[in-house]
Amino acid sequence: MADAAVARTEARPMPGEPSAWQQLKVNRNWLGFWFMVPAMAFLVLFLVYPLGKGLWMSFTDARIGREGRFVGLENFEWLSDDSDFIRALIFTIVFTFVASAVKFAIGLYLALLLNNNLPFKAFVRSVVLIPFIVPTVLSAVAFWWIFDTQFSVITWGLVKMGLIDRGSPINWMGDPFMAQCVVIFANIWRGIPFIAITLLAGLQTVSPSLYEAATLDGATRWQNFRYVTYPLLTPIIAVVMTFSVLFTFTDFQLIWAMTRGGPVNATHLMATLSYQRGILGGNLGEGAAIAISMVPFLLAAIMFSWFGLQRRKWQQGESND
C-alpha cells in the first residue's frame, strides 16, 4: 500500500512503466537487495564460504602451505581409530552435559532468588552478571592461578579447615580427573550469570496474581513452581539452554587458557583438539575433520531444544511469529 504510493510519486515524470533504472531504485525486491548487500557480503565471504571450504578440507589432506588432495573419508576413518579423538569426543559430551545441567539448576535457582523482593535488587543483579562481562580468557587465567598446584588458595583454605594435610596438597591441574572437574567448574561459574539473568527476565513477566490464585487454591511452594512458573518459563528455558549447550559444546578459550588440553590430553574438547592438530600440528585437513564432526552433535542439540520450544508454543495456543 505505502509502496504503491511511492512507486507512483517516483514514476510521475514518466507515466506508464518505470524504466529499468527506476525499477532498481523503487522495486521492493531490488530495494531490499541493496539494503542486504553489506550484511550478506560479510556473511557469505567469511561464514558461508569458510563453512563450505571447511567441509571440503575435511575430505582432503591439506597441510599449512599446501593445497590438499581429495582423500575421501580417510580423515574420519583415521580419527575413529584415534584414542585421543575418542577421548576428546567423550569428554566434550560429558563436559557439555554436566556443565549445562548444573548451570541450569543453579542459574534457575539464582533467578528465583533474585525474583524475590530484595533490597538493592538492581545492584545485586548487575553484580551477578560481572563474570559474564569479563573476558573468558582473563577469568580463566584467574582460575588457573586459584587452582595452581603449589600455591592454590583453595588448598590453603582446605588445610586451614583441617580437611586435608598440608604435606599432601591436591594436584588440581596435574591430575587428569581433577583437571576435568576444574574446567567444568570454571565453565559453570562463567555460564551461571547468563542463564540466571535471562531466566529472571522471563520470571518478571509472570504475573504474581497467578501465584496468589494458586496459593488461595492451596498450592504449596513446590506446586507453585511446578505448575505455574515452570510451564510459563518453558519457551525461554528452551532457547537459553540451546544457546548454553551450543556454546559449551564448542568452547575453546576456557580450556586453552587453563590447561591447553593437558594433563595427558585429558581436558581436550573437540575444538581445542582441532586447533592443536590443525593449526599447531599443521594438519589442516585433519583439524577441519575434527571441527566438522562437531556439526551433527550441534544439529541434534539445536533440533532437540527447538522442537521442545515449538511444542510448547503449540500447546499454549500462541501465534508463532
- Least Å distance, CB 86 to another protein, is 19
3-class secondary-structure state, position 172: coil
Using the minimum distance from each CB to another protein, give the nearer residue, 31 or 181.
31
CB of 244 to another protein, least distance (A): 10
Least separation in angstroms between residue 317's CB and another protein is: 10
Which of 43, 73, 14, 86 lies closest to 286 in space, CA to CA?
73
* Separation CA 111–CA 193 (nearest Å): 9
Which lies closer to another protein via its Cβ, residue 98 or residue 246? Answer: 246
8 Å CB contact between 159 and 230: no
Q: What are phi and psi of 195, to 5 degrees?
A: -65, -45
CB distance 55 to 49 below 8 Å: no
* Smallest separation, CB 195 to another protein (Å): 10
CA distance 114 to 199: 10
Task: Give the integer Cα–Cα distance in Å for 108 and 101.
Answer: 11
In the complex with another protein, the residue whose CB is nearer, 99 or 291, is 291
CB atoms within 10 A of CB 255: 26
Q: What is the smallest separation between the CB atom of 202 and another protein, expressed in angstroms?
A: 6
Q: Which is nearer to another protein, 83 or 116 (CB)?
A: 116
- Contact in structure between 206 and 155 (CB atoms under 8 Å): no
Q: Catalogue the long-range contacts made by 126-132 (C-beta closer than 8 Å, 24 or more residues apart).
A: 128/193, 128/196, 128/197, 129/193, 129/197, 130/193, 131/189, 131/190, 131/192, 131/193, 132/190, 132/193, 132/194, 132/197
Select 179 or 288, whichever has its Cβ closest to another protein.
288
Q: Are 190 and 247 in contact (CB under 8 A)?
A: no
